[in-house]
Amino acid sequence: MDDRAIKIFSLNTSREFGKRVAAHLGLVLSHHEERDFEDGEHKTRSLVNVRGQDVYVIQSLYGEPGISVNDKLCRLLFFMGALRDASAERVTAIVPYLCYARKDRRTKSRDPVTTRYIAQLLESIGCDRIVTLDVHNLAAFQNAFRCPAEHLEAKNTFVHHFASLLDERDIVVVSPDFGGAKRAEAFRKQLSQKLQRDISIAFAEKHRSSGVVSGSMLVGEIQGRTAIIIDDLISSGTTLARTAKACHSQGAVAVYAAATHGVFAKESNHILAIPDLENIIITDTVPSFRLTASEVTAKLTVLDTTPLFAETIRRLHSGGSLVALLDSP
């Protein structure tokens, strides 16, 4: 790709991810400076001219030891504002993992709707477009933003992985709740097309109230099949563990779990250390630094999403079709 009209930055906490994205494009990351001050304030600025440029800023918004999700968000906002002040023609936020996306509606009185607030913050600073991967609620994400909001999906990444791993097995795709039915059906359809044979689908019952998960019904043909539980995110792992146990109780010969974002709350170290799950497949949007139990890390597989983000940037810059990118098996 010709770098004369495009600049790609990655803030320090996502720098290795950003380097791989840029490498797929035949580019190197543009130079920037991040300075921290003794009182906790900070500044970030470009060290190259961005006037009239198509600029992309990569920052995955998850919290980690030493830097909170709020600090990462603040740094992204300030940097994008500085780029607009430096006369960038267009500034796009590439956010592999979008923070606060799970709180997309009011479930209790006076609840915040943080998905909408994040959209307002990004737009107010001059964000022209946001690109993210597998948000929890697609409709809420698309309705929150007034600027173009591009939603990528990891389903093809998972399809390629499972097509080679389970080519000869009888497979059933399992949604861990009815809310994830569309995600599971899209994955099932794409995997069926890839393997050129029909694959069935099943749904697990789940109710959540005040952080407590309940429900045990599993609808679908599981007996004698390899189950793939598909979800957008793993936090505590409670949902996956319950669904995996239900699959085994109904005769699944093996159970795999696939989720785009491996957030892995601390308790997932013991919740997911169960024999019911043969393999856990995630992507590289969030490093699995909270996983310390060898029983869990031994069955963890991490898939690379940087080619997807690189091709997205290429098409956005050149005017190519993202629909064609996401629909191709």
Could you tell me the two tokens for 211? 């952080």
Residues 103 and 178 in one domain: no
Report, in angstroms and rounded to the nearest whole number, the Rg of the chain calculated over CA atoms. 20
Domain boundary among 152, 179, 206: 152
Give one DSSP letter per residue of 61-108, joined into a string.
---BTTB-HHHHHHHHHHHHHHHHHTT-SEEEEEESS-TTTT--S-SS
Q: Residue 105 belongs to what domain range?
A: 6-152
For residue 31, being part of any structural domain is answered with: yes
Residues 181 and 265 in one domain: yes
CATH number at residue 288: 3.40.50.2020
Give one DSSP letter per residue of 165-228, joined into a string.
HSTTS-EEEEESSGGGHHHHHHHHHHHHHHHTS--EEEEE--EEETTEEE---EES--TTSEEE
What pLDDT does 216 receive? 61
- Please indicate whether residue 206 is annotated as part of the active site: yes
This model's pTM is above 0.85? yes
* Residues 263, 265, 270: CA angle, nearest 5 degrees: 120
Residues 21 and 134 in one domain: yes
For residue 311, being part of any structural domain is answered with: no
Residues 42 and 99 in one domain: yes
Residues 113 and 229 in one domain: no
Say how far apart CA 243 and CA 277 lie, in whole Å. 10
Residues 138 and 175 in one domain: no
Domain boundary among 118, 152, 186: 152
Residues 125 and 165 in one domain: no
Residues 197 and 269 in one domain: yes
Residues 300 and 161 in one domain: yes
What pLDDT does 207 receive? 47
For residue 317, being part of any structural domain is answered with: no
Domain boundary among 123, 152, 181: 152
The separation between CA 101 and the C-alpha centre of its own chain, rounded to angstroms, equals 11
β-sheet bridge partners, residue 214: 207
Residues 234 and 141 in one domain: no
Could you tell me the two tokens for 329? 């098996």
What pLDDT does 329 receive? 63
Number of domains into which the chain is organized: 2
- Per-run averaged pLDDT (10 residues), the chain, 329 residues: 86 98 97 95 97 98 96 98 97 97 87 94 97 94 95 96 90 92 94 94 71 65 96 94 94 97 96 95 97 96 98 96 82
The single residue of 189, 206, 245, 299 carrying the catalytic annotation is 206
Residues 229 and 249 in one domain: yes
CA atoms within 13 A on the CB side of 12: 13
For residue 271, being part of any structural domain is answered with: yes
Residues 38 and 171 in one domain: no
Here the contacts of 159-167 (C-beta below 8 Å, separation 24 or greater) are: 159/187, 159/190, 159/191, 159/194, 159/329, 160/194, 161/258, 161/281, 161/301, 161/303, 162/191, 162/228, 162/256, 162/258, 163/191, 163/194, 163/195, 166/226, 166/228, 166/256, 167/195
